[in-house]
């Protein structure tokens, strides 16, 4: 979301005279990446690659690092990616050309997605079935806190290099904290037949407030051994399983829809009328009730209906904003916020749904593959807003159309509510 403030659309840096710039723009001009690398006029479209290069990095991180997480463990991938995420951000202090900025953003994208997918899978594999739905509230709320924190930092730190460094330094310290305190995924330990570590994991959790109906030997029952399998064998097994392929296809489309709509709306939030720092925070805060309401829906009506309904609500809200209330900006904003609420609930919900739909032995790589396709098409998010020059409601029509299709496609998937996480493709629902 840093791209929302790096691309300062309020200031025309092509006209650098004091009479043509506001006091705020004059203050920010010396620290602006747009001004420093002359990303205006005929080169204006190049600034969108700041976000798109990050998305391209997400593609690599979502595929390669997910494979590594399934092979070598979630914990090492989370720690290494978080550490490198901070280091690459700090390197922005020393780059001299925009090309190197894009290279670092590409690397940033790799490590961001690698760490975020691995930590979600690790956490989800380590909590009881009854708490799975509510994991999204914790995950989503912490996301919103970080999302909203960007705005005040951008307000007080006008230099783009220092801004990115300030955001990156905490990752380095956080990597150390994870190394000390983060446990490995329980399901991963069992799937790799690392029984001693799995038993230690259970014994450490087995305090008075928790009870286990299974003894350690039953919990750590022998499973098909995947330790000796190569990446080639794992990938071959994945692409020959029609059930897995179908689910990857459907979830990839859902991920694509949510990335396009969510990031497209978030980037557009700073272009709304009014204070763009306040608008950015307000659009972020609307996600908190979505993350609180989403788990209730997931538990009450199930995963499939929740994801389907929220996508359809998103489509209806965009349709109303685009065609029905075109002359009422307040009503348009209201439906725009409804769409952001619904797509946020849908986006967080697919993390739950996808994690429950894929087996432990392929969970990271399958979720990572879905994320890859989502981020691949998500690279178009910064450019969709430019379609308004063709027809002003066109961005809303695009977002609404794909959201509607996603709502109906979801109904092709099985329900996973109250089901045990599948250990292998043999016991998938």
Condensed to tens digits (0 to 9), the pLDDT of residues 90-128 reads 999 999 999 999 999 999 989 998 888 888 888 878 887
For residue 37, what pLDDT band results from cuts at 50, 70 and 90?
Answer: confident
**The two structure tokens encoding residue 255:** 């991920």
**The two structure tokens encoding residue 373:** 């396709």
**The two structure tokens encoding residue 412:** 């092709």
The reply to whether 327 falls in a domain is yes
Condensed to tens digits (0 to 9), the pLDDT of residues 243-296 reads 888 999 999 999 999 988 988 887 666 565 567 787 788 778 888 898 888 888
396 or 63, greater pLDDT: 396
pLDDT beyond 90 at 304: yes
How far apart are the C-alpha atoms of 307 and 289, rounded to whole Å? 16
The reply to whether 220 falls in a domain is no
Q: What angle do CA 340, 346, 302 make, to 5 degrees?
A: 140
Cβ contact 84:111 at 8 Å: yes
For residue 392, what pLDDT band results from cuts at 50, 70 and 90?
Answer: confident
The domain containing residue 359 runs over which residues?
A: 3-205+228-427
The reply to whether 110 falls in a domain is yes
How far apart are the C-alpha atoms of 115 and 81, rounded to whole Å? 5
pLDDT beyond 50 at 6: yes
The reply to whether 216 falls in a domain is no
How far apart are the C-alpha atoms of 389 and 168, rounded to whole Å? 36
The reply to whether 215 falls in a domain is no
The reply to whether 347 falls in a domain is yes
The reply to whether 217 falls in a domain is no
pLDDT beyond 80 at 81: yes
Query: With the C-alpha atoms ordered 91, 97, 103, 105, is the resulting torsion angle positive or negative?
Result: positive
Total number of domains constituting the chain: 1
For residue 336, the domain's CATH number is 1.20.1250.20
CA distances from 364 to 65, 148, 221, 354 (A): 9, 28, 22, 10
How far apart are the C-alpha atoms of 221 and 81, rounded to whole Å? 32
pTM (2 decimals)?
0.72
Condensed to tens digits (0 to 9), the pLDDT of residues 336-364 reads 789 989 999 998 889 889 988 888 777 77
Condensed to tens digits (0 to 9), the pLDDT of residues 127-169 reads 877 777 677 788 888 888 998 899 899 888 888 999 999 999 9
The reply to whether 366 falls in a domain is yes
Burial of 207 (0-12, 13-18, 19+ CB in 10 A): exposed
% of the chain beyond a pLDDT of 70: 81
pLDDT beyond 80 at 62: no
Closest C-alpha among 308, 314, 315 to residue 341: 314
């Amino acid at each position: 979301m840093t791209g929302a403030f790096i691309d300062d659309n309020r200031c025309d840096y092509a006209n650098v005279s004091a009479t043509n710039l506001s006091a705020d723009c004059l203050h920010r001009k010396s620290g602006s990446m747009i001004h420093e690398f002359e990303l205006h006029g005929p080169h204006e479209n190049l600034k969108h690659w700041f976000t798109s290069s990050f998305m391209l990095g997400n593609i690599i991180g979502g595929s390669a690092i997910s494979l590594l997480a399934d092979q070598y463990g979630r914990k090492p991938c989370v720690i290494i990616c978080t550490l490198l995420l901070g280091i690459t951000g700090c390197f922005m202090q020393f780059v001299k050309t925009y090309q190197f900025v894009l290279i670092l953003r590409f690397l940033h994208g790799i490590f961001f997605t690698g760490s975020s997918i691995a930590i979600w899978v690790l956490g989800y594999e380590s909590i009881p079935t009854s708490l799975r739905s509510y994991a999204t509230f914790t995950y989503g709320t912490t996301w919103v806190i970080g999302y909203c924190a960007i705005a005040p930092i951008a307000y007080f730190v006008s230099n783009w290099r220092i801004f990115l460094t300030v955001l990156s330094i905490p990752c380095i310290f956080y990597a150390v904290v994870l190394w000390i305190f983060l446990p490995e995924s329980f399901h991963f330990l069992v799937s790799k037949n690392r029984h001693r570590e799995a038993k230690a994991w259970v014994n450490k959790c087995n305090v008075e407030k928790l009870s286990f109906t299974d003894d350690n030997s039953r919990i750590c029952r022998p499973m098909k051994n995947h330790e000796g399998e190569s990446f080639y064998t794992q990938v071959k097994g994945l692409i020959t399983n029609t059930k897995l392929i179908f689910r990857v296809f459907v979830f990839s489309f859902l991920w694509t829809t949510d990335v396009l709509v969510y990031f497209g709306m978030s980037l557009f939030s700073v272009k709304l009328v009014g204070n763009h720092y306040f608008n950015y925070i307000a659009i972020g805060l609307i996600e908190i009730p979505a993350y609180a309401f989403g788990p209730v829906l997931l538990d009450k009506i199930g995963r499939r209906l929740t994801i389907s309904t929220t996508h359809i609500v998103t489509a209806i809200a965009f349709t109303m904003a685009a065609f029905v209330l075109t002359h009422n900006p307040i009503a348009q904003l209201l439906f725009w916020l409804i769409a952001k609420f619904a797509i946020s609930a849908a986006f967080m919900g697919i993390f739950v749904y996808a994690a429950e739909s894929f087996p432990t032995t392929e969970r990271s790589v399958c979720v990572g593959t879905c994320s890859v396709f989502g981020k691949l098409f998500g690279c178009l998010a910064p450019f969709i807003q430019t379609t308004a020059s063709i027809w002003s409601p066109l961005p809303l029509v695009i977002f609404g159309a794909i959201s509607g299709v996603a709502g109906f496609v979801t109904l092709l998937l099985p329900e996973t509510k109250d089901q045990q996480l599948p250990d292998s493709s043999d016991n998938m629902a």
